[in-house]
Amino acid sequence: MDIAALITWVITALGGFYMLGTWIQRDGIRQQQSGTSRLPAPVLFGHFALAAIGLVVWIIYVVADKSALAWTSFGLLLPVALLGFVMLARWISVHRDRAAAGAPTSAAAPGTDAAVPAERHFPLSVVLAHGLFAVVTLVLVLLTALGVGGS
């Protein structure tokens, strides 16, 4: 189960990297400072940093098989999930605005419309997959820490 959690965590991270890269490429940092982006940079980068640290701890756990490391990873995932839900709640209104506008914005060149939040360019499929794999990862890490299914 620990390897399954590692695989789902890596898949989750790939989706997160894609969204972070899109946000940065679309001037999310500058937009956040000007109030256009609805994703606060400290929340976004905190989510990323804690998830990355947790993944490193999980990899060490997979190698060392020390239960304290599994619980540490799980403990790191809790604020990661909380920050993820905060960003999801803020992103939903941006997604609704995009759907109401009815115009796809993903084909626009970066920086062509400063009024469009950078996170509007996140594909719905990537957001949903990231969230789904994150929930599965959290459950697998918890079950592994509890000793369910062996390690």
Please, what is the Cα angle at 75 between 39 and 70, to 5 degrees? 130
Q: Which one-letter amino acid corresponds to residue 13?
A: A
Q: What would the pLDDT profile of 63-113 be if each residue is shown by its tens digit? A: 999 999 999 999 999 999 999 999 999 999 888 876 666 655 444 444 445
Q: What would the pLDDT profile of 101-146 be if each residue is shown by its tens digit? A: 665 544 444 444 557 899 999 999 999 999 999 999 999 999 999 9
Query: What is the model's pLDDT at position 103?
Result: 52
Other CB atoms within a 10 A radius of the CB of residue 119 amount to: 25
